[in-house]
Amino acid sequence: MSASTTADDIVVPHDPGMAGLRFRHFHAPDDYAGMAAANQATRDAAGMEEVITAEGMARDYGHFINWDPFHDTVVAERDGRIVGYARTQWRDQTDGERAFTTVVVVEPGQTGSGITEALLAWAEDRLVAIARAIPTAERRPGSMRTFSFGSEADYAALLETRGWARTGQGHEMVRPDLDEIPDVPLPAGLVVRPIGLDTASRRAVWDAAVEAFADERNEEEASEEDWASFLSDPRQDPALWVIAFDGDDIAGGVQGKIDPEENAHHGRERGLLDGVWTRRAWRRRGLARALIARSLVRLRDHGMTSAYLGVDGLNPNQAMTLYESVGFGIVSTAYDWTKPLPADAGPMEVPT
């Protein structure tokens, strides 16, 4: 450690060495506002609908698993102001894979400064170290994962240079108005019933959604911390959910959400279809389309004038076609990237 650094500083590969720039450890809760601002700047530049706030970031970070606040996050600070950060974490997926994921955020005004390359190189080293630290007998097949927004051409080029491969994409889709919503009947035998505010009722919906999403691409295994995060989110309002029942069984649902801070940021009144799902036994019967139509009406009744949702561009259940059929169109894109782990960080070889 040089005379100009402190115990709070982190040495990163490819440090551009600019005056006033330092890489340091993460400090909660003080850093949330600066990190959220840097994150939101990248989203605004990319035309993303979702908004990141310090409060939401604190809630999410408070429920992370397989994440060490001291070792797994580095903050880039320039002239005393947070301009970016990188976070690493690992999660097991429902398909048996283990995802070693990094989020690298650098505000657009720092493009070309070398900060992104330094953060990404640090994150790769950290992910490899995490994978190597897992006992051999407890390892799963896995890889490093990250994402980029569609507008981040420089970052995409950097990822390719460092051996990352683009493996998929997701989209935000918008329905620009809530006029002429189609009247779609529910499948025979199914009814929509209100969901109570009690924890048991909300947990039943959460469990049904977890089961329905289990066969989605890159879906993480649900944890009790995920449930706690969901329960603590003030935007999760059962009055906006449209849940279909077959007798006592939950068949599918659309979990609507209204975020006042998001709407204030964009200057609009737009609701989010936060989860659109059908459990396997009730698929291919038109249930999702019927629930989406009812959800749009529900949002309109609560004062919204438009709606948006997120979709996996490689969804095997023709979700894109479904959403287009009820008036949604793509407005932004994010890309998924994967990079192999070194051989000595992979699963145990099984003799044949």
**Same domain assignment for residues 184 and 289:** yes
**Same domain assignment for residues 161 and 201:** no
**pLDDT, averaged across the chain:** 95
In a domain, 351, yes or no: no
> Per-residue pLDDT averaged across 90-111, rounded?
97
The predicted structure's pLDDT at residue 6? 84
The pTM (predicted TM-score) of the whole model is 0.94
**Same domain assignment for residues 40 and 154:** yes
The predicted structure's pLDDT at residue 346? 85
The predicted structure's pLDDT at residue 314? 87
Question: For residue 1, is pLDDT > 60?
Answer: no
**Same domain assignment for residues 222 and 143:** no
> Per-residue pLDDT averaged across 255-284, rounded?
97
Question: For residue 3, is pLDDT > 90?
Answer: no
**Same domain assignment for residues 165 and 206:** no
In a domain, 189, yes or no: yes
The predicted structure's pLDDT at residue 2? 40
The predicted structure's pLDDT at residue 251? 98
**Same domain assignment for residues 150 and 189:** no
pLDDT band at residue 171 under the 50/70/90 scheme? very high
> Per-residue pLDDT averaged across 83-94, rounded?
98
In a domain, 10, yes or no: no
As for how many domains the chain has, the answer is 2
**Same domain assignment for residues 103 and 86:** yes
**Same domain assignment for residues 108 and 215:** no
In a domain, 229, yes or no: yes
**Same domain assignment for residues 76 and 185:** no
In a domain, 77, yes or no: yes
**Same domain assignment for residues 34 and 139:** yes
CATH of the domain at 201: 3.40.630.30
The predicted structure's pLDDT at residue 352? 42
**pLDDT tens-digit series, residues 113-165:** 999 999 999 999 999 999 999 999 999 999 999 999 999 999 999 999 999 99
The predicted structure's pLDDT at residue 101? 98
Identity of the amino acid at 248? D
In a domain, 67, yes or no: yes
Question: For residue 350, is pLDDT > 50?
Answer: no
In a domain, 60, yes or no: yes
**pLDDT tens-digit series, residues 276-321:** 999 999 999 999 999 999 999 999 999 999 999 999 988 766 789 9
**pLDDT tens-digit series, residues 215-250:** 999 999 999 999 999 999 999 999 999 999 999 999
**Same domain assignment for residues 182 and 129:** no
**Same domain assignment for residues 294 and 245:** yes
Q: List Cα–Cα distances, 49 to 45, 264, 302, 322, in angstroms.
A: 11, 12, 19, 20
Q: What are phi and psi of 215, to 5 degrees?
A: -100, 15
Enumerate the β-bridge partners of residue 273: 256
The predicted structure's pLDDT at residue 348? 63
In a domain, 327, yes or no: no
The predicted structure's pLDDT at residue 349? 55
Domain interval for residue 118: 21-170+336-345
